[in-house]
């Protein structure tokens, strides 16, 4: 097999290796998949304004997230059912994240439990939470995550109902029989029934709470001391409300373009959300990051860090733990190179002036910068 030289190449390898139902589940987006393509395409409309003749012999990519020091602003997003990609699943991902000195977010719908992931060894881990109709289930799960040493909750807020993913409907998607939603096993919510559309859509309709609202964000703060990141914000209005509700941070996300189609790419919504948060809480980006240049662009637009989702499951399917490690390393190396070639020696030196977007005022219309 030829050497993998970039993150995107893992998708083709995963497609060849995985059963169609599994690959389609990971790869597809909602409906026309317009946002799925746009999550990538929008990055290509942002260009660099590199600064030259700066000593870039030493580059520091370290940063802090909610007070935790990490090696780079590149973290792992929550993705469901990782054992469907590789037998080691979330264990492999957890070890890769820890080795890279970064944060892993474990999905509620993981095929390994919070306790099992904690047992892989040290590491900073966040827990992604879906709010079930039965709040006792939620409280129990949050308590278990906290006991297992998880450091924050990423509350997914864009899924009162599951988006229409037509590949899953065609495939009658259901979790393979040898796998369960490990966090819910003891609660009799660990199995997903075959349905005449998508088994996951039926599961969500039956179990996930459609009444979820801002008051529940406040309720969550009464049952845990873990900080809460609101995942799935795309507007300035909701950024302001997140601050008011006591969120510790925001993840700008369109759920990997799997929920509402024709929402903007997350990189296009980022600046609006950053302005809405007014510097009061950090804003992170999730969706479409495949290159170190993408990471830089997100930070230039005000993100404090980014999360990768599909690259993790595709590299996991291709090469297990080694694949995930390689994805993190490639993104790190590319990001370091982008920083050097842009004239930035630390995260704080990355500014809005290092990029130009198609929604910027044409520079000719601005007064010339004083030199």
Are the CB atoms for 82 and 316 separated by under 8 Å? yes
- The torsion angles phi and psi of 84, rounded to 5 degrees, stand at -75, -20
Helices in the chain by DSSP H: which ranges? Answer: 9-17, 20-27, 34-41, 89-100, 114-118, 135-147, 166-170, 199-207, 214-223, 236-244, 266-277, 292-300, 310-342
23 is in an annotated binding site: no
253 is in an annotated binding site: yes
20 is in an annotated binding site: no
80 is in an annotated binding site: yes
40 is in an annotated binding site: no
Question: CB count, 10 Å around CB of 237?
Answer: 12
130 is in an annotated binding site: yes
Based on the residue annotation, tell me whether 354 is a catalytic residue of this protein: no
290 is in an annotated binding site: yes
Q: Which are the contacts of 56, defined by CB distance < 8 A and separation ≥ 6? A: 339, 340, 341, 343, 344, 345
3-state secondary structure 15-52: HHHCCHHHHHHHHCCCCCCHHHHHHHHHHHHEEECCCC
286 is in an annotated binding site: yes
45 is in an annotated binding site: no
List the catalytic residue out of 83, 151, 182, 255: 255
327 is in an annotated binding site: no
165 is in an annotated binding site: yes
Please state, in angstroms and as integers, the Cα–Cα distance from residue 87 to each residue in 1, 81, 112, 320, 321, following that order: 21, 11, 11, 8, 10
86 is in an annotated binding site: no
CA Rg value for the chain: 20
Q: How many residues does the chain have?
A: 371
310 is in an annotated binding site: yes
In the structure encoding, which two tokens stand for residue 100, read together? 């890279």
309 is in an annotated binding site: yes
108 is in an annotated binding site: no
Q: Which are the contacts of 57, defined by CB distance < 8 A and separation ≥ 6? A: none
Give the H or E element holding residue 76. Answer: strand 74-76
Binding positions are 25, 78-80, 107, 128, 130, 156, 165, 231, 253, 255, 258, 286-290, 309-310
Binding positions for glyoxylate are 25, 165, 255
Residues annotated as catalytic are: 255
Binding positions for FMN are 78-80, 107, 128, 130, 156, 231, 253, 258, 286-290, 309-310
């Amino acid at each position: 097999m030829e050497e993998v030289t970039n993150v995107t190449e893992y998708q083709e390898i995963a497609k060849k290796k995985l059963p169609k139902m599994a690959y389609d589940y990971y790869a597809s987006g909602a409906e026309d998949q317009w946002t799925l393509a746009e999550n990538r395409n929008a990055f290509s409309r942002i260009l660099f304004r590199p600064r030259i003749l700066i000593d870039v012999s030493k580059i520091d990519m370290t940063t802090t997230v909610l007070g935790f020091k990490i090696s780079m602003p590149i973290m792992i997003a929550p993705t469901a059912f990782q054992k469907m990609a590789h037998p080691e699943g979330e264990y492999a991902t957890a070890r890769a994240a820890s080795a890279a000195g970064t944060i892993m977010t474990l999905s509620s719908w993981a095929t390994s439990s919070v306790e099992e992931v904690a047992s892989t060894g040290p590491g900073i881990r966040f827990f992604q939470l879906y709010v079930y109709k039965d709040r006792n289930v939620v409280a129990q799960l949050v308590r278990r995550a906290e006991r297992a040493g998880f450091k924050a909750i990423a509350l997914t807020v864009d899924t009162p109902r599951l988006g229409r993913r037509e590949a899953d409907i065609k495939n009658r998607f259901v979790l393979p029989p040898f796998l369960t939603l490990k966090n819910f096993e003891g609660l009799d919510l660990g199995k997903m029934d075959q349905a005449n559309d998508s088994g996951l859509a039926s599961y969500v309709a039956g179990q996930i709470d459609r009444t979820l609202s801002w008051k529940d964000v406040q309720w969550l703060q009464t049952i845990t001391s873990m900080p809460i990141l609101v995942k799935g914000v795309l507007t300035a209005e909701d950024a302001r409300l997140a601050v008011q509700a006591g969120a510790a941070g925001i993840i700008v996300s369109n759920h990997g373009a799997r929920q509402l189609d024709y929402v903007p790419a997350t990189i296009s919504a980022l600046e609006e959300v950053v302005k809405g948060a007014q510097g009061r809480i950090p804003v992170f980006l999730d969706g479409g990051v495949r290159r170190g240049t993408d990471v830089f662009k997100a930070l230039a637009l005000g993100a404090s860090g980014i999360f990768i989702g599909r690259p993790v499951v595709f590299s996991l399917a291709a090469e297990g733990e080694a694949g995930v490690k390689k994805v993190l390393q490639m993104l790190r190396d590319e990001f370091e190179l982008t920083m050097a070639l842009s004239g930035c020696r630390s995260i704080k030196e990355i500014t809005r002036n290092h990029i130009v977007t198609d929604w910027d005022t044409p520079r000719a219309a601005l007064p010339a910068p004083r030199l």
